[in-house]
Amino acid sequence: MAGIDWRPTLVTRLRDRFLEQRAAEAHRHLEDDLRMLWREACTGVGLCHYVHVAAGTTIRTPRFGGLRHGDGLVFSTELLPGQEPDDLRAQATRLAHTLGAHGLRVEPLAGRWVRIVLLQSDPLTARVPLPELPLAHGAGRMVLGRGEDGTAITHRLTGPAHLAVQGQNGSGKSVFTYGLLAQLCAAPDVLITGSDITGLVLGRAFDGTAHRDLQATGTRDLLEHAAMLDRLVAEMDHRLDAMPARQDAVTASEWTPLVLVVLEEFPGLLRAAQARDKKLAERITSAVLRLVSEGRKAAFRVLMLAQRFEANAVGGGYARDQFALRLSFRVPADSLAMLHGDDARPLGPAHANAAPGIAYLSGPGHDCTRLRAPYLGGYGEYCDRLARHARRASGETWADWIEVA
């Protein structure tokens, strides 16, 4: 067809082909550079094998598989015999800096192959939003924050772990708790109870909800706190006594909810009780000790918050040892080691100046991990979310039922 000008179409195709060849060439050059840097990085941190032969010594490093196309720098590598993905994670920061990145994430693929994702910025600097909708049930995964490798760190409340959270004023401890309770407030198989001498985390924010009846707030009536804890212990004993044969743990349900016992500023509650009546302080301590030591099988979980988890401030070293999941926001170096052990001591000086919202986490499946906690949006947003989503009180409450039981 003589009337059609085919020249623009040909020029476009030639240009596109040229650009594809340039992109492929650039990709090959980048892949070659990364392969060389990866070998040097692994050798520098000791992730290599030295093979001695007659001609000399050969250095073997994890084999570079190939650079993946797409956003960011992602490549695969084959671990050496005897290596595990955790061996790379232990040297992640040093490897990443050699490769020109801020950090890296290691993702297992198959066999000895893993995927390496290079992170160009610090995941702990960006704000972590919370999902708008709360959890539909207590076995859902609560968002604890974002780890240094950029992945979400979650936890199931139904897991066998009490939670300990410490941090100085303004470190983000309360905001983290707001986010945690906002995620759980609508679950039909979770009851949020506890003691809060500030009246901010619990109390007025929960007015009109199904959770309010088993919450004690303020310091005017410390007997109310002791009585509430005694009621929880009585319910725990009732569940243990009524447990069917051949069963060693209560399964949470709408009729037997998982009871989250929040102890906000618990050392302050003990100090106030000791100042008024030492026997009252002993009564409170005894109830909390029973909940943390026996409550797991009865579907009870304790969330204790303190500025410092000193043994004599939280009911003794035995009580502190019962908390398997532990988070520390900004605290002095000795406080970090006190809660997380000597493995955390090297991070103490740096963590003592951590920005608000940065926490150190240790617990089942999380060995010495730093994270940024989710940001709900302030106390007003916390109250709004509870007003929108928290289960409402209707008729006979669960607290009324346990009085009869």
The binding site for ATP comprises 167-174
- As a dihedral over the C-alpha atoms of residue 272, residue 277, residue 278, residue 284, rounded to 10 degrees, the angle is -60
Query: Which residues have C-beta within 8 Å of that of residue 224, sequence separation ≥ 6?
Result: 216
Question: Are 96 and 79 contacting, i.e. CB atoms less than 8 angstroms apart?
Answer: no
CA dist., res. 130 & res. 142, Å (int): 10
Helix axes of 266-276 and 222-241: crossing angle, nearest 10 degrees: 110
Helix ranges (DSSP H) in 242-362: 266-276, 278-294, 317-321, 333-340, 348-351
Helix axes of 222-241 and 278-294: crossing angle, nearest 10 degrees: 30
Question: Are 288 and 313 contacting, i.e. CB atoms less than 8 angstroms apart?
Answer: no
Tell me the two tokens of residue 62. Answer: 């994890």
CA dist., res. 335 & res. 381, Å (int): 31
Question: Are 185 and 370 contacting, i.e. CB atoms less than 8 angstroms apart?
Answer: no
| Sequence ranges of the binding site | 167-174
Question: Are 127 and 184 contacting, i.e. CB atoms less than 8 angstroms apart?
Answer: no
Q: Is the dihedral of CA 353, 359, 363, 365 positive or negative?
A: negative
Question: Which residues are paired to 215 by β-bridges?
Answer: 194
Question: Are 338 and 362 contacting, i.e. CB atoms less than 8 angstroms apart?
Answer: no
